[in-house]
Structure 1
């Protein structure tokens, strides 16, 4: 029995264009042309094409399929790698499903993962926006450390004063808040040194990350707040980022 290219593709559940692609890669032998100039495929072509589609459906790449050749066994190491990748894909899909369920049932926000959203409820808009940026810059462990520090950080009166500081605050008011924030950060560093160092190391990983945070902070806080941050950093012996100055 022989089939046309279109019929062969239909039987294997694919397209004629895909069949041509497999020919070009050498995965599927090209049939000889008959005297009338038309290509006709036989059972061997159909079996080979079905096998290619089966392996591709399992996740093998076309080079891996080519390496298998005409044998009916896939090397165990290839299968083990593929199984591990499938497991990772399942984990990602399950996490995605959990976020969708949270968004449906809890009206969770869309700009941060569900597990993060639950930990930033009630934050001021500027701080919450900064967390959104940090979810893209920090890995899972540094981000978890940052979120763990939010509650003890925000429990201090100086932080609340910082949140409410108007853009035209006088220098004396700024100095009081800066002193409180600096002292609080030193105390927090002494109590949670591992977490503070983890966050700092993650942001130092590339200059781009630290500059991105500085740019975000510079756009999220008003001039008086930025001046307070600069003063607090200076009090704790840290360099003042560009744009964090008096205004």
Structure 2
């Protein structure tokens, strides 16, 4: 008995397009054709198709199926690699489920990166947005340090800065810059990589710089940007003074 492409696809619980794809990948041998050009699949093709499906259901990539299907050390190595990949996938899914559960229970927010949920309430909308962007620019070690910096800030420390109007007066700007400058100097001392973050970037230095500048410019008003610029100058001056002492 022989089957057409559609019939063997139905028997194997897959699609005609998938059968054709396996032919193109060299995983499934092409069957003989009748005089009028129709393919004639046999039991051998059905068994092979079911074997491929079984391995795909186990998470084996197409490019490893031939190796896994053979006997010997290469097959075991390939299976170990697949098992490791599946383990990582399971960990990612478990973390995702935990975060979704926390969000549903009201213990988490979706506008902060993973791990920043407990700090979300003390952060402004702009700061939460910036943390989401940072998570795309810095590695996990850097984000852990940033999280620690935020955790060290006393409750309500940034309220005045967050509410600073674009036309804030000089005295207010100067006072806030002095305060933030001292805080930033402490962070620069405790986390030296802040002065040269290249080792912690997940994107190129140029892409990181451009994204940071564009993001900060969009999230903060002119007075806040002025305070941030002054604070940076003050912080570096304090650090240099400490180094010279």
Coarse TM-score class (shorter-chain normalised) = 0.7 to 0.9
Distance 1:62 1:211, change over 3 A: same
Contact 1:12 1:50 in 2 (8 A): yes
How far the C-alpha of 1:170 sits from its partner, in A, is 1.9
Distance 1:153 1:197, change over 3 A: farther
Q: Tell me the secondary structure at the aligned position of residue 236 of structure 1.
A: helix
How far the C-alpha of 1:154 sits from its partner, in A, is 4.8
> How many equivalent pairs are there?
235
Contact 1:108 1:114 in 2 (8 A): no
Q: Could you tell me which residue of structure 2 aligns to residue 163 of structure 1?
A: 162
Q: Could you tell me which residue of structure 1 aligns to residue 52 of structure 2?
A: 52
What is the rounded CA distance, in whole Å, between the counterparts of 1:57 and 1:165 in structure 2?
A: 57
Distance 1:36 1:136, change over 3 A: closer
How far the C-alpha of 1:199 sits from its partner, in A, is 5.9
Q: Which aligned pairs between 1:18-167 and structure 2 lie closer than 5 A?
A: 18-35=18-35, 37-67=37-67, 71=70, 75-106=75-106, 108-154=108-154, 159-167=158-166
What is the rounded CA distance, in whole Å, between the counterparts of 2:16 and 2:111 in structure 1?
A: 42
How far the C-alpha of 1:86 sits from its partner, in A, is 0.1
Distance 1:166 1:5, change over 3 A: closer
How far the C-alpha of 1:79 sits from its partner, in A, is 0.6
Q: Could you tell me which residue of structure 2 aligns to residue 210 of structure 1?
A: 209
Q: 41-50 or 162-171, which moves further after superposition?
A: 162-171
How far the C-alpha of 1:112 sits from its partner, in A, is 2.7
Give ranges in structure 2 of 5+ residues lacking alignment: 238-245
Distance 1:19 1:201, change over 3 A: closer
Q: Could you tell me which residue of structure 1 aligns to residue 191 of structure 2?
A: 193
How far the C-alpha of 1:53 sits from its partner, in A, is 1.4
Distance 1:231 1:15, change over 3 A: same
Q: 197-206 or 175-184, which moves further after superposition?
A: 197-206
How far the C-alpha of 1:26 sits from its partner, in A, is 2.6
What is the rounded CA distance, in whole Å, between the counterparts of 1:207 and 1:137 in structure 2?
A: 11
Q: Which aligned pairs between 1:173-192 and structure 2 lie closer than 5 A?
A: 173-190=172-189, 192=190
Q: Which aligned pairs between 1:234-245 and structure 2 lie closer than 5 A?
A: 234-237=233-236
What is the rounded CA distance, in whole Å, between the counterparts of 1:228 and 1:113 in structure 2?
A: 26
How far the C-alpha of 1:81 sits from its partner, in A, is 0.7
How far the C-alpha of 1:82 sits from its partner, in A, is 0.4
Contact 1:112 1:135 in 2 (8 A): no
How far the C-alpha of 1:92 sits from its partner, in A, is 0.7
Contact 2:145 2:191 in 1 (8 A): no
Q: 108-117 or 54-63, which moves further after superposition?
A: 108-117
Give ranges in structure 1 of 5+ residues lacking alignment: 239-247
Per the normalisation by structure 2, the TM-score is 0.82
